Structure 1
Amino acid sequence: MKNLFSQNSRALYACYAAMACLAMALNFLPVYLTSFSDTFGGASGLTAEQLGRIPAVMFLSFIVAILVTGPLADRGSAMAFILIGLLITMAGLGVVACSPSYSFLLFAVAVMGFGAGVLDMILSPIVAALQPDRRSAAINWLHAFFCVGAVGAVLIASVALRWGFSWRIVSLVMMAAPLFTFLLFLRLTLPPLIDEDTQRDSMPALIRQPFFIVCLIAIFLGGATETGLSQWLPTYVEQGLGYSKEAGGFTLAGFSVGMALGRMVAAVLQEHIPPVPLMLGCCAVTAVLFILISFPPSPVIAIAAAIAAGFSGSCLWPTMLAVSADAYPQGGATMFSVLTAIGNAGCSIVPWLVGVIINYSDIHIGLLAVMACPVGMMVLLVWMARWSRGKAVIPPP
């Protein structure tokens, strides 16, 4: 029993490290959006739509990886997918560093996004299998380490900017993290993702469940709430508020710290507050903060509101994953892959739409439009609470 506990603990910590790796790969890019414009855009620079296309391509590749590999993970080895994801992520970072043109950069971020997508697909079901009695708290802790990795990446990128190091050097340095984590997993064994004595819930059966459909829409809006702000935050601080590139990077780091703390607090609160009411309150606070971010009385208040929005909106994605896993514990990696793909569709589409809106108006209006995401999620959460009471979809803890 002691050996099993030790093995499970080491596997859990390795999953945290892998989550930090994929976050590092994904989150240093926004710090360098204006640098990419200077490098690849010529005298006029890249347009807002072209800049928005960089995270859009990355997250679309993320989604493709999740949808392709999710069903395979239920039939294969979870360990194999972890190792493949780490290797592809590391290779993607290397290709980003060597990008000679804007088109090649899009290809590079697609490779990196694919590797990160494989990791994101498999990590949540592994953690749910490691901690079946406290899925919501465990998945919030896992996703808190996404924020830890994001903070690390943004701080490294921001310090590199200040010291004059190229984004190419930063990308090469970050290859060390997935390499270390790859070596860590080689020493571990992982549990089965579902109860092997019980039939797995098929995706066609899940799609016929109204509650599951609402979970899909809600996680789309949850992902959009996060990245609709985070992907544009450094640019907003620099161009909308008049601060330096370094200030934009440090603000994004503050946003990620807020998200990490928010998910840790949510993991503790979910011992006392049901997940749906918790998300409902967080959505309401986040919607108000978007107004302060978009039309602030002062730039300092805008930055403070953005960091606070990272805290308040942080639990939406992981808690919705946990709600779905509690409702359908035999969903397996396929269910997680569909949920994650839909969530990342929100992460991809909404930042791009913000860029389109900015082209026709300004960045303040673009960020204000993101407020529709937490407001829409509130409507869904009210429905979910009523449905749960009437249908008893989610079993009691």
Structure 2
Amino acid sequence: MPRRAATAIIFIGFCLLGMVFILWGILLPNMAASLAMDEVVSGAFFTLISAGSLLGAFLAGKYVQKFDFLALFASLSAAVSGLLLGLSWVTQWGWLLVGAFWVGLVSAVLFTIGHTLIARLHLARRSAMMGLMDFMFSLGTLLAPFYVSALYLWQHDWRWPLRLLALALLLLAAFSWRTARQAKQLPPLPGSASRQSLSYGEALRHKAFLLLALAGFGYGAVEFGNGNWFVSYAQQGRGLEGDEARFVFAFFTAGMVLSRLGFSSLLRFFAPWQLMRLLAGMMLLGALVIKLGAASVALSTGNLLLGLGLGGLFPLLLSSAMDMDSDKGPVLSGLISIGASLGVQAASFGTGLWAHYAPLATAFWTLPLGALWLAAFVWRYSSQVRPAEGQ
């Protein structure tokens, strides 16, 4: 398989998917006004994306092994392109909800393909390349607000960002399809000979992989618990103004990007299991500083520590699991993604439910509790990885 072309396809695809996932929150005010969506409908929209992602991760882990990865990536990129284009023409919010579920499902399959393919293409630099791949996703989330703002200068219509992004995904699908046809004439990738469906039950019988899924739950709870609730917490619980709260939150996203871009350089000085523990400790410290701090300086510091600790954990956890059993790459990606999706649901719903009975300043204890869960299971998981490295 042409390694450079395939890597470029996955990296560009992850950047575009990062834009797809964050775009809905940016466009929501205009979408809601255009389609008469109330708060319940808006909440259902994001819930359905998450539900689709959960099902997509499960299906991909079991069955994606049966297909040619690049050809499937091309087909599904074209499918997301078609979904975005279709959603840009809807006039009733009901169709938007249907499309949200399918965007989440197809995108989750694309994530699994990306993780598995990069892991097999770059055996010697698996952790570093998977970190760069997740960095590209974060880069997409950073670019999305500027992309929308630039288009709104030309046409203040929420439909056009979807249409142009659909075009970009369609071009990527064509490039991926062309590369897939060229790759058929080359030897197969390591671990790609088997075309059988994979078993979650078999993977979960391995203690390390069960711990991987449990750590994934904590990862999703922390990332989206902070992402969905911090700005509201900072305003209601700490008295910050809206712009100041959003500025403080930017330290979290900046930390995530820096961590995913640079954590692999630390592997020169630390074994993967040691780096996992270091990042988990930094993440837990950041969560406690956010909850116990009051001034914007303390909250900014906590967000930066949380992002720096959290960002590198996902690629490091998954790449270490694939080092143990690369043939189970798709199901391992599915396991951690399913765990993360469930963590997202638990943190989002749990914080909201707690805030219904107590002030949000109290309910936001879900963040350090989620961080404690994640740190505990990262510590236990790293003890499983350590013998596999011969430490």
TM-score tier (shorter)? 0.7 to 0.9
- Tell me if structure 1 keeps the 8 A contact 2:286–2:304: no
Tell me, in whole angstroms, the C-alpha distance in 1 between the residues paired with 2:81 and 2:283.
34
How far did residue 133 of structure 1 move?
1.8
User: How many aligned residue pairs are there?
Assistant: 383
Cα 1:30–1:333, aligned 2, differ >3 Å: closer, same or farther? same
Answering whether residue 337 of structure 2 is matched by residue 340 of structure 1, we say yes
**Identity over aligned residues, as a percent?**
19
How far did residue 202 of structure 1 move?
5.0
- 1:27 is aligned, of 14, 19, 22, to 22
Aligned to 2:39: 46
Cα RMSD of the aligned pairs, angstroms, is 3.3
How far did residue 18 of structure 1 move?
0.8
- Code of the residue aligned with 2:163 in structure 1: it is L
- 2:116 is aligned, of 125, 129, 142, to 125
- 1:11 is aligned, of 6, 9, 31, to 6
How far did residue 201 of structure 1 move?
7.5
How far did residue 229 of structure 1 move?
1.7
Deviates more, 1:319-328 or 1:98-107: 98-107
Deviates more, 1:169-178 or 1:16-25: 169-178
- Code of the residue aligned with 2:213 in structure 1: it is L
1:184-238 deviation line (CA, Å, top 9, x unaligned): 2133145536153899985433221112111111122112221222234565567
Answering whether residue 362 of structure 2 is matched by residue 369 of structure 1, we say no
Answering whether residue 277 of structure 2 is matched by residue 280 of structure 1, we say yes
Tell me, in whole angstroms, the C-alpha distance in 2 between the residues paired with 1:164 and 1:221.
40
Aligned to 1:242: 241
How far did residue 336 of structure 1 move?
2.3
- Code of the residue aligned with 1:13 in structure 2: it is A
1:234-269 deviation line (CA, Å, top 9, x unaligned): 65567773325x984x76665434322111211211
Aligned to 2:349: 352
Answering whether residue 87 of structure 2 is matched by residue 87 of structure 1, we say no
- Tell me if structure 2 keeps the 8 A contact 1:90–1:178: yes
Cα 1:291–1:385, aligned 2, differ >3 Å: closer, same or farther? closer
- Tell me if structure 1 keeps the 8 A contact 2:280–2:378: no
Tell me, in whole angstroms, the C-alpha distance in 2 between the residues paired with 1:299 and 1:102.
38
Tell me, in whole angstroms, the C-alpha distance in 2 between the residues paired with 1:98 and 1:252.
33
- Tell me if structure 1 keeps the 8 A contact 2:80–2:103: yes
Tell me, in whole angstroms, the C-alpha distance in 1 between the residues paired with 2:142 and 2:30.
19
- Tell me if structure 1 keeps the 8 A contact 2:131–2:315: yes
Tell me, in whole angstroms, the C-alpha distance in 2 between the residues paired with 1:55 and 1:300.
31
Cα 1:60–1:25, aligned 2, differ >3 Å: closer, same or farther? same
How far did residue 77 of structure 1 move?
1.2
- Code of the residue aligned with 2:339 in structure 1: it is I
Deviates more, 1:159-168 or 1:108-117: 159-168
Structure with the largest fraction of helix: 2
- Tell me if structure 1 keeps the 8 A contact 2:347–2:366: no
Answering whether residue 325 of structure 2 is matched by residue 328 of structure 1, we say yes
How far did residue 295 of structure 1 move?
5.3
Alignment map for 1:156-167 (pairs within 5 Å)? 156-157=147-148, 165-167=156-158
Cα 1:29–1:210, aligned 2, differ >3 Å: closer, same or farther? same
Cα 1:372–1:30, aligned 2, differ >3 Å: closer, same or farther? farther
Deviates more, 1:122-131 or 1:67-76: 67-76
